[in-house]
Amino acid sequence: MTTELDSSLIADYLLDHPHFFEEHAELLSTVKLTSPVMGRAVSLQERQMEILREKIRVQELRMADLMRIAQENDEITSKFQAWSRALLLTRDAADLPRVLVDRLQEIFHVPQVTVRLWNLGPAHAGHWATQEVSDDARIFANGLSAPFCGPNKDFEAAGWLEDAASVKSVAMLPLRVGAAPEAFGLLVLGSPDPSRFTTDMGTDFLTRIGETGSAALACLLR
């Protein structure tokens, strides 16, 4: 009588007896497996080498991806530092909105950027950044707890940009003092590229821009 061996029992046996192939080394060269890489039968040793090479290749790709992400983050950090430095070097508070917008556009290569502010002190009543803003736009800004990114659906804020007709995607950042419930402004970034600002993109870095911009412009409030 013969007993049909279950493959799982064989696998368990080999796991429990790690020295099996040391005791039967001839099997390493005689057992043949089908190679998905080479398309032919190969020895157990050759198949093991293929598996190891594949694992190494996957690890190398993962490491390369991590290196790319680290490099991108380093570049973003450098740009953010340059932008923050420009704000800190601005001596006249009235110049802050223009410096914030122009340097943001230049350093981060954003096609269009603008800002609207309200509730500023009387001395800044005629400033270009305090142009009329509807109540709906203010309510929209107050309702943002994080930057809004997505397609331009004829938002009023997108209309503040210089070439509003060309804008296909926007990012809108509320400006507020700390955790205040009401915003005192809205920073708007626009692009003709529909994929530049998308609903599923990460907003952590944009949040930092909004917080830093808010801190810089808060000195204009009454």
pLDDT (tens digit per residue) in 22-50: 777 666 666 666 666 555 665 666 767 77
Q: Are strands 148-151 and 41-43 parallel, antiparallel or unpaired?
A: unpaired
Give the separation between CA 176 and CA 134, rounded to whole angstroms: 17
pLDDT (tens digit per residue) in 44-96: 667 677 778 888 988 988 898 888 888 888 899 999 999 999 999 999 999 99
Give the separation between CA 28 and CA 26, rounded to whole angstroms: 5
Give the separation between CA 4 and CA 193, rounded to whole angstroms: 64
- Amino acid (one-letter) located at 92: D
> Is the pTM value of this prediction over 0.85?
no
Count the Cβ atoms, other than its own, within 10 Å of residue 9: 9
